[in-house]
Amino acid sequence: MVPVGYYTTLSAVLFTIGVVGVLVRRNPLVIFMSIELMLNAANLAFVAFGREAGQLDGQVIVFFVMTVAAAEVAVGLAIIVAIFRARQRINVDDLNLMRW
């Protein structure tokens, strides 16, 4: 049996790769996919912790996280498409209208 520490470490590595992706990329779609990567890493940690604690609650939480991710992607992609329609450019650094 694989120790739970291995799973949580893998989860930390995947989460960090997602964080770096959000920081270095300019395309909002890739940034979005990096956020999905982070959500997945957190889910993996939830399931691993749940198994170690001998409870199913972790898996139920992961189910809810998946639902929230689906809702977030639907709205987020709609926003990105709307921005692209209005500005014809989608680099995140160009979108500084609401920044002081």
Partner 1 sequence: MEQVTFFVTALIAVASAIGLVVRRNPLHGALFLVVNLFCVAVLYLLLRAEFLAAAQVIIYAGAIMVLFLFAIMILIPGRAETGRDPFRRQRLAALPLGAAFLLLVGVLMWGGPPPGGAPPPPGGAAAVGRLLFTDYLLPFEITAVLLLAALVGALVLARRRA
Q: Which of residues 32-71 bind partner 1 (CB under 8 A)?
A: 32-34, 36-37, 40, 43-45, 47-57, 59-60, 62-64, 66-71
- Considering the rule CB under 8 A, would residue 13 count as an interface residue with partner 1? yes
**Smaller CB separation from partner 1, 26 or 100:** 26
Contacts with partner 1: how many residues (CB under 8 A)?
A: 73
Largest CA distance in the chain: 53
The C-alpha atoms of residue 63 and residue 66 are separated, in whole angstroms, by: 5
- Considering the rule CB under 8 A, would residue 74 count as an interface residue with partner 1? yes
> CB 42 → partner 1: shortest distance, Å?
11
Helix axes 28-53 and 4-24, enclosed angle (nearest 10)? 160
Measured CA distances, 55 to 9, 14, 35, 41 (Å): 20, 24, 27, 19
> CB 75 → partner 1: shortest distance, Å?
5
